[in-house]
Amino acid sequence: MFMGEYQHSIDDKGRIIIPAKFRDSLGDKFIVTRGLDNCLFVYPMSEWSVLEQKLKSLPLMKSDARAFSRFFFSGATECELDKQGRVNLPNTLCDYAKLDKDCVVLGVSSRVEIWSKQTWEGYFNQSEETFNEIAEKLVDFDFNF
């Protein structure tokens, strides 16, 4: 399980350090793709396989299903860490997530997320204001704290 928040920088070559706590769980190779809310999602191969099977089962006749699959898979790339624990992110993914210098790397249960610091702070501040409302809605999913 991935958890925690880490501040890192992306260099001019598009490389960012993955926190040491995440490296073993990610494995030798992993998938990075466009995520929701303008961040990147990083999946270990085992989690990616599960997600891939779920997305394959979406109905091809539904335009939303096709659109989401295109968005998700077209941005996906197989990555690996270098000896310093960095991953080299493609320019297309950096552009999508607006990664330029200061970044935040989050552990979110089964995946890692990479955010621009500015985007993360805006998202966090907005979500923090409605956190109690969000928590109340989770009761509908039989989720209690």
User: For 114-139, how does the pLDDT look when each residue is reduced to its tens digit (9 = 90+)?
Assistant: 999 999 999 999 888 888 887 787 77
Question: What is the percent of the chain with per-residue pLDDT over 70, rounded to a whole number?
Answer: 97
> What is the pLDDT, as a whole number, of residue 86?
97
> What is the pLDDT, as a whole number, of residue 131?
82
pLDDT at 83 over 70: yes
CB 21 within 8 A of CB 4: yes
CATH class of 2-141: alpha beta
* pLDDT band at residue 142 using 50, 70 and 90 as cut-offs: low
Domain boundaries in the chain?
Answer: 2-141
Question: What is the percent of the chain with per-residue pLDDT over 90, rounded to a whole number?
Answer: 83
- Taking the C-alpha atoms of residue 56 and residue 69, their distance in angstroms, rounded to an integer, is 8
